[in-house]
Amino acid sequence: MDLLERMRQQPLPLAKHLGIEIVSATRERVVGAMRVGPELCTEPAVLHGGAVMAFADTLGALGTVANLGEGGRTVTIESKTNFIGAAPVGTQVTGESTPLHIGRRTMVWQTRVSTQEGKLVAVVMQTQLVL
């Protein structure tokens, strides 16, 4: 089973709850999409920062998983988010996660979250510990 199919068939519980769809997945790039529903928003009706972070964290973690050996596990040990713009309710955001470092003990991923119009919402940097 290829990587993309495996990620689609075995979604993480939070990813499923947030409605994250994995669009493409390779060892060098993971792309996902998420609809901005009212349950993911703050006031005014724009995507909550925590939802942005959870979305990006999911994509970066999946990228790490794609680079692990059989039975390998990972955990996020650091994450930093720069919020750039808002994503209003009813839109769809896309996240593109790419590695900055793939090592034996850690991996560092950068995720750019944008609206469907291409407006940048956030840039997230995370470090994954390889267990």
Phi then psi dihedrals of residue 84, to 5 deg: -110, -45
Q: What is the amino acid identity at position 86?
A: A
Q: Per residue in 35-55, pLDDT tens? A: 999 999 999 999 999 999 999
Q: Please tell me the pTM assigned to this model.
A: 0.93
Fold of 3-130: Thiol Ester Dehydrase; Chain A (3.10.129)
5 or 80, greater pLDDT: 80
For the chain, the structural domain boundaries read 3-130
**Reported confidence tier of residue 12, pLDDT bands at 50, 70, 90:** confident
What does 54-88 look like in DSSP terms, one character per residue? Answer: HHHHHHHHHHHHHTSPTT--EEEEEEEEEE----B
Q: What is the pLDDT of residues 110-130, one digit of tens each?
A: 999 999 999 999 999 999 999
Residues 13 and 31: their CA atoms lie apart, in Å, by 18
